[in-house]
A and B are shown apart, each in its own frame.
Chain A
Amino acid sequence: MLVGTASFLVVRLGLSYLALPATGVRGILTQEAIDHEQAVTEAGIVYQPVDLAERLSVSADLSGTDRKTVLYSNGRSHGAIRVEQVVGLIDVERKDCFPLPLQFQRDERCWFGGMMFYQDQLALILNPSWALGELADAATVLIGKAKQTVEATPAAIGGSC
């Protein structure tokens, strides 16, 4: 990875393109490899099933032939994230990541760390800690503080990744 860039695995759930920081990706399993309802054990680590579509209230077809399970870890928590499609792995210059607009004021500020363009699509950068269930939806904490939070982060001055 080049200095000033960040790597992401871009996946699709329904109409939403989501970018997972690539450093946490531990593997990608095909549909035949696993029972999607069960935890996955790989190299002695148990990855608990993560239903992102349900948590994001996104309509997704997880029965298609392109569906995959992304094994993801941040070192503390481990999740098997079901996605409709793995789109690709990309390096993005940090200046090309930008924050979620301030008009988005509720749980989504906890879900997404920012956004970027990928092949003319808008990809939302997932917050791994939230995706792995470490953070509750913190809407009430964020409401009213969203502006200060965003203004205080590097995201506001270029780069959300």
Chain B
Amino acid sequence: MLRATREEQQVQTTKRSWNIVVFSVGGLKLAARIEDVGEVLPWAATIPIPSRTPFVQAMLKRDNCVMPVYDLAARLRRLVQGNPLLCLVARHVDGPMAICIDADVPTIAKADAASIRPSFERDIESLGSVTIGGNDVTIVALQRLGSAIQDTLTRYEL
């Protein structure tokens, strides 16, 4: 049996723990895998877009680029808090997507993979939950945010 090289050992170590970004929406602590977060920026005015996609009704313009806005606060029935608000750019499977989050600057934490529990949070796409500072924090599956509600609507219509 071959011994793992140092690089392989590092990969295995990485897989045993997740780097997560902890942020808040309307005071609710949430987390996301760091690789699912593009960047965090100051929030900017949005452009309303006529749309029937739930929670996707606006775009955010930065320079000459636009990206859709996902209204996570509305989905969670919360109001974002603080000033200035921040924009978390999610690496969604369909392309970058802006999410307005509270003014609290997100922090980076490391979660042991073994400590991540299945999440029974039905309101949002999640990868599980983890305890941070004594609180149960849902790890949001930013890559597929919105897919569950879309699937539900499709099933309803069919």
Contacts and interface: CB of A to CB of B under 8 A. Distances in A.
Interface of A: 15-16, 56-58, 101-108, 111, 115, 117, 122, 124, 137, 139-140, 143-144, 147
Contacts, number: 66
Contact of B50 (A57, A105, A140): A57
Nearest to A146: B94
Contacts of B109: none
B5 interface: no
Nearest to A117: B64
Given A122-B59, A143-B154, A106 B66 contact: no
Contacts of B29: none
A122 B56 contact: no
A147 B56 CA distance: 16
Contacts of B92: 103
B94 A58 contact: no
Given A103-B94, A103-B95, A144-B154, A124 B53 contact: no
24 contacts: A58-B50, A101-B66, A101-B67, A101-B97, A102-B94, A103-B53, A103-B70, A103-B94, A103-B95, A103-B97, A104-B49, A104-B53, A104-B56, A105-B53, A105-B150, A106-B51, A107-B52, A108-B50, A108-B53, A122-B59, A137-B52, A140-B154, A140-B158, A143-B157
A111 B50 contact: yes
**Which of A57, A101, A102, A137 neighbours the largest number of chain B CB atoms within 10 Å of its CB?**
A101
A104 B97 CA distance: 11
A103 B158 contact: no
Contacts of B49: 16, 104, 108, 124
Interface in B25-55: 47-53
A56 B95 CA distance: 25
A139 B68 CA distance: 19
B157 to A, nearest CB: 5
Contacts of B52: 106-108, 137, 139
Contacts of B95: 101-103
B61 to A, nearest CB: 6
B41 to A, nearest CB: 18
Contacts of A102: 94-95
Contacts of A15: 47-48
Contacts of A147: 94
